[in-house]
Structure 1
Amino acid sequence: MRLEIKLLASFLCMVLLGCGSTRLDAVPKDRPNVILILVDDQGYGDIASLGNPYIKTPNIDQLHEVSARFTDYHVNPTCAPSRAALLTGHNANRTGVWHTVNGRSLILEREITAAQIMKENGYATGIFGKWHLGDNYPFRPEDKGFEEVLVHGGGGIEQTMDYFDNDYYNDTYIHNGKLEQYEGYCTDIWFEEAMKFMDSNQDQPFFCYLPTNAAHSPYFVDDSYIEPYKDNEDIPLPAFYGMIANIDENIGKLMDHLEKNGQLDNTIVIFTTDNGTAQGARVEGHRLDGFVNQGYNAGMRGIKASKYEGGHRVPLFIHWKNGGITVGKDIDELAAHYDILPTLVEMCDLEVRPEIDFDGKSLLPLINGDKGDFKDRIVITNSQRTEVPEPWRRTSLMQGKWRLIDGTELYNLEKDPEQRENIADQHPEKMKEFKAAYDRWWKDLEPGYEDQPRIYVGHEEENPTKLYCHDWHTEEVSPWHQRHIREGFIDNGYWLIKVAEGGKYRVRLRRWPVETGLSLGAEAPVRPALPGTSVNASKLGKAMKIKEARLAVQGIEMQKEASLADEYVEFEVDLKKGDTRLQTWFTLEDQKELGAYFVEVKKL
């Protein structure tokens, strides 16, 4: 059931916010700050206070002791969809984000985020870490309400749109739209810069979004963090725990900083993660959906990307001293990532645009002991990872302790927490009820699947536009990682674009990203290993013998011979305003074809 905005609130929004782009003139002085910590790939079982016998997380444990802890909280099984739902209060499918690559990690332009709502209510807004909802206008953090932006590119360091050869140490990141190099380890930098942001906003409330790229691959961290977990056959990947240990250390520093500055009491601190564990457990059988045979996953089946509990049940802690949330309290009712924003709206007394209609609902009643609205609640999560969503594709429908998987497998977690015994045949009425609920849910979302996120070219907010093969629409998995670029991965696809203004455009096709300065026929040097860390050396980047380049857009096809000594092949083309596709080709000496991994489009 979607959250209905009260008429009075709607009226106030229309009066105070107008078209929605105006910041409130007067902000109540007692409005709380908000810090939203989102750790990548850390599962429910990757925390000591949640039962893990191997990992040490003293600072997360301390937060657990003074928080409302949601024990049955669910997200999507992979990262970008979870982020979209978390920030909008909408089911991920509604936001247009149901994949992590292939142009379906781009959040629809119409979606309004927590940062936009916070900004409109007088909050300073900042993001530090991983965005993964689009690297071009109109999808960037700065387009979605964040005023202070420090992020890496794509869905992780080392991915295609990230600065080439970043390795977590002394990297180059995007700071308010410009590339800037920082000294230190990535997670340390996110927290240090976030604390500077908080320090600079002592006189107004702030919304600080801290989505770490750790503990996502690659598993790079100082050896000192890995050492405590080495030589233990029950720990699948010591570096994974080492990355979490570093995050834990930074959370401790953050809490100490807030207390020292007198900001902790009136700051809502939310800790959560984006999907099930990536490396805290190993499974037998299906690589994602199997049963745990090494490590710890809180007794759940499956890991990251699984349709079973281990793929999407994650921790959620909420602490706010001035709001009376100071004592550890387990809340067992079903909750979801799209409840976070409605919860913040109620906690912070935010005014919301009248057209916004959340899929989630505030968790504050549960925190206050009122379970009435949650008794028969149904939550549905899925992992589509395809161009067009399909009914029941890798889906979990949940009500209480019931779990219906893919419309065919029914489990009762009270009796079968590992989801081993399918009891669908024993409960025909329950199956009928759940399938009917799913059909209503699907019918509500399905019309929106036709909406396409399009990257603008020739827009005043971003010109030139850099396009990355990560966002190709393709039947295969696009070359989303820099290792694919180095190895010369053969694939192609098209970009969905919106030409903002008609006119003459310059289009440059590249084999290597611009920051490398490498020619079309060059090989990329090895990125070296870093002593004292788990950073390993990259492979040598393959030299490709590109003979010809082609371009197709708006019914126009152009081709040119390529010079291996040049960095790019350049075309000039007259484009009309409107929606279209753009596709490129490189033809190799052996007649194989692939798309240009990097394309720059500039309105002249």
Structure 2
Amino acid sequence: FSASGYRTAIFGKWHLGDNYPYRPQDRGFEEVLIHGGGGVGQGPDYWGNNYFDDTYFHNGKPKKFKGYCTDIWFDGALKFIEANKNRPFFCYVPTNAPHGPYNVADKYSKPYRDKGVKGNQANFYGMITNIDENMGRLMSRLKELDLEENTILIFMTDNGTSGGHDGGMRGKKGSEYEGGHRVPFFVRWPAGGLKSPGDVDRFSAHVDVLPTLIDLCGLKRPAGVKFDGASLAPLFKGSAKRWPDRTLLVHSQRIEHPEKWRKSAVMTQRWRLINGKELYDIQADPAQKKDVADVNPQVVEQLRRSYERWWADLSQGFDKYCEIVIGSDEQNPTRLMSHDWHCPNPAWSQSAVRRGSKSNGFWAVEIQRDGTYEFELRRWPVEVDAPINGAIAGGKAITATKARLNIADKDLILPVPQDAHSVTFRAELKAGKTRLQTWLTDDNGTSRGAYYVYAKRL
């Protein structure tokens, strides 16, 4: 979009990297307002955020806001749209709600509690009601700005429900069954020549979104890119004479090293092959109650072959890491957080930091250039600025006496003074890809990684 002259912005949840070169501002977004990590209050997020009056990252800098998170995202989006109403714009508003923790103002959850809905379920529905209210604000403002007719408005979600109605489908968020990954994709473009309002019944997926928008918006196609998806524009406009039966694949790995067939679905217009074994006729059995693999062996074999081809292509990158770059002009210093450790159970949340989780792992990093680098090891982030061994409210004290840093060919050890807020190492490093790992260890040998490391090229 940016390369085609559009103004670009994101407001809300990114969850594709908190460090250069994976931040939204490194990926084409000119205006950025986001929380950190995968949810408000997770480890990379600003410490203490709880959805209300939080500090978020505006164009890479922490900024304090007043109000509820979803309202803030839409406030930012509306200001951006108003400022760019006379030129093409792409505005992306991925809300963190209704993700846990389920926090929302009482006025949104009370109507559900009054109807007998209990606890977090009422809050979950209240968060959705707030999103609905904000969508109404957005649509009304587009109309007031005379942008309604020629703005493509898309409403969708990123996964199946985590706690609400499942639409009669099997499974919820994270499941390989239909309820885990089948989502709405509502498109509105009054002046776009779309067909009469109604359902598009052809099989489609997330990989189709970019090719479709390239067609609808007349964007420059990136050179040398082979898209996995197809443009849905002919279906939207009612001009598709024929639409081929496609085979698409999804899986939910959520582990360090992907495993073949793990939580996978091979899908066509009619069939769903689950984990390479179970087969469901999704048209006759949308709830996926009856496994018909035994009576359709040829279908199973055909779908398994499709998976094998897909896996052979995908697995070529399984031994590669997405290195966080240290020492770049774009982000110096770089804050590393244990959310991004490579290990079985990283300390990804602020609650894990509070309880002093005895976990550890390495960061995959790339030193951008030769030079002197400084590494400040902390248990608490700088905005908390508490002693390494101290216990803040709701937290647990530790008794670390020794700090260790291992990076490239350097393995360094320093003492941890009792009241120290951090321990700082310096090292001469060569440019290149490597691993960075830290340890905070007490006299009994109990160890954990430094959850926060601030790395700086001097």
TM-score bucket (shorter structure): over 0.9
- Counterpart pick for 2:60 among 174, 177, 186: 177
1:26-45 CA distances to partner (integer Å, 9 max, x unpaired)? xxxxxxxxxxxxxxxxxxxx
Deviations 1:11-40 (A, max 9, x none): xxxxxxxxxxxxxxxxxxxxxxxxxxxxxx
Residue of structure 2 in register with 1:549 after alignment: 403
**Does residue 574 of structure 1 match 2:419?**
no
Rounded Cα–Cα distance in structure 2 between residues aligned with 1:417 and 1:155: 31
SS at 2:426 equivalent: strand
1:285-327: CA deviation from partner (whole Å, max 9, x where unpaired): xxxxxxxxxxx31111110000100000011101101103485
Q: Does 1:500 align with 2:354?
A: no
**What does residue 385 of structure 2 align with?**
517
Match of 2:334 among 462, 465, 488: 465
One-letter amino acid matched to 1:484:
A
Q: Distance in 2 between matches of 1:435 and 1:517?
A: 54
Could you tell me which amino acid in structure 2 is paired with residue 301 of structure 1? R
**Given the alignment, which residue of 288, 294, 300 partners 1:419?**
288
Deviation of residue 373 (structure 1)?
5.6
Partner of 1:237: 121
The partner residue of 2:161 within 240, 265, 277 is: 277
Alpha-carbon deviation of 1:231? 5.3
> Partners of 1:193 and 1:234 in 2: how far apart?
32
**Aligned match for 1:186, one of 69, 77, 81:** 69
Alignment partner, residue 335 of structure 1: 204
Q: Is contact 2:195-2:236 (8 Å) kept?
A: no
Residue 589 (structure 1) shift? 4.1
1:167 aligns with 2:50: yes
Alpha-carbon RMSD: 1.4
Greater mean alpha carbon deviation, residues 261-270 or residues 317-326: 317-326
Instruction: Tell me how far apart the structure 2 counterparts of residues 262 and 415 of structure 1 sit (CA, whole Å).
Output: 45
Identical-residue share of aligned pairs (%): 47
* 1:590 CA displacement: 3.5
Structure 2 residue 27 is the aligned partner of structure 1 residue 144 = yes
Matched, 1:479 2:347: yes
Contact 1:547 1:589 in 2 (8 A): yes
Residue of 83, 105, 114 corresponding to 1:200: 83
The aligned counterpart of 1:368 is 237
CA contact 2:12–2:73 (8 Å) conserved in 1 = yes
Aligned amino acid, residue 266 of structure 2: L
SS at 1:466 equivalent: strand
Question: Do the aligned partners of 1:265 and 1:321 also contact (CA within 8 Å) in 2?
Answer: yes
> What is the identity, as a one-letter code, of the residue corresponding to 2:167?
A
Cα deviation for residue 436 of structure 1 reads 1.1
Cα distance in 2 for residues equivalent to 1:445 and 1:519: 44
Aligned residue pairs total 457
**How much does 1:388 deviate?**
2.4
| Counterpart for residue 72 of structure 1 | none
1: CA distance, partners of 2:401 / 2:355: 18
Q: What is the distance in 2 between the residues matched to 1:325 and 1:371?
A: 12
Q: Is the 8 A contact 2:193 2:237 kept in 1?
A: no
2: distance between equivalents of 1:304 and 1:564? 44
Counterpart secondary structure, 1:243: helix
Residues 553-589 of structure 1: CA distance to partner in whole angstroms, max 9, x if unpaired?
Answer: 1121111110131110111111111000000000024
Partner residue of 2:142 out of 220, 244, 258:
258
SS at match of 1:270: strand
Shift of 1:232: 4.7
Change (3 A) 1:588 1:372: farther
Cα distance change on mapping 1:120 and 1:366 into 2, 3 Å: same
Q: C-alpha separation between the residues in 1 aligned to 2:369 and 2:276?
A: 46
Maintained 8 Å contact 1:494/1:582: yes
Task: Give the Cα–Cα distance (whole angstroms) in 2 for the partners of residues 409 and 372 of structure 1.
Answer: 33
Separation in structure 1 between the aligned mates of residue 239 and residue 377 of structure 2, nearest angstrom: 58
Aligned counterpart for 2:301 among listed residues 411, 432, 436: 432
The alignment partner of 1:338 has SS state of: helix
How does 1:268-347 map onto structure 2 within 5 Å? 268-280=152-164, 296-325=165-194, 327-347=196-216
SS for the counterpart of 1:453 is coil
The answer to whether 1:128 aligns with 2:11 is yes
TM-score (norm: length of structure 2): 0.97
The Cα shift of 1:249 comes to: 0.2
Q: Give the stretch that moved more between structures: 161-170 or 324-333.
A: 324-333
What is the match of residue 111 of structure 1?
none
SS in 1 for 2:93: strand
Does the CA contact (< 8 Å) of 1:334 and 1:374 recur in 2? Answer: no
2:383 counterpart SS class: helix
Maintained 8 Å contact 1:520/1:568: yes
Contact 1:135–1:154 under 8 Å retained in 2: yes
Distance 1:436 1:447 in 2: 17
The answer to whether the Cα contact below 8 Å between 2:194 and 2:237 also exists between their aligned partners in 1 is no
For the residue of structure 2 that corresponds to 1:515, the secondary structure is coil
CA deviation profile, 1:153-202 (whole Å, cap 9, x unmatched): 11110100100001111111111111110111110010011110011112
**8 Å CA contact 1:320, 1:326 repeated in 2:** no
SS of residue in 2 equivalent to 1:380: strand
Partner Cα separation in structure 2 for residue 232 and residue 592 of structure 1 = 50
Mapped to 2, the partners of 1:326 and 1:172 lie a distance apart of 43
Q: Secondary structure at the match of 1:505?
A: strand
Aligned to 1:104: none
Q: Deviations over 1:487-507 (max 9, x none)?
A: 111100000000001111111
Give the letter aligned to residue 507 of structure 1: F
Distance 1:453 1:473 in 2: 11
Correspondence 1:248 to 2:132: yes
Q: Which has the higher contact order (CA 8 A, sep 6+)?
A: 1
Written as runs of structure 1 = structure 2, the 5 A alignment for 1:42-191 is 118-191=1-74
Question: Equivalent residue of 1:195, what SS?
Answer: helix
Distance across 2 between alignment mates of 1:159 and 1:326: 43
Q: In 2, are the aligned partners of 1:153 and 1:162 still within 8 Å (CA)?
A: yes
Q: Does 1:228 align with 2:228?
A: no
Distance 1:122 1:369, change over 3 A: same
| 2:240 maps to 1:386 | no
Letter in 2 for 1:249: E
Note the C-alpha offset of 1:367.
1.4
Question: Is contact 1:553-1:581 (8 Å) kept?
Answer: yes
Deviations 1:466-494 (A, max 9, x none): 000000000x2211111111111110000
1:216 Cα shift? 0.4
- DSSP 3-state at the match of 1:253: helix
Q: Which amino acid aligns with 1:251?
A: M
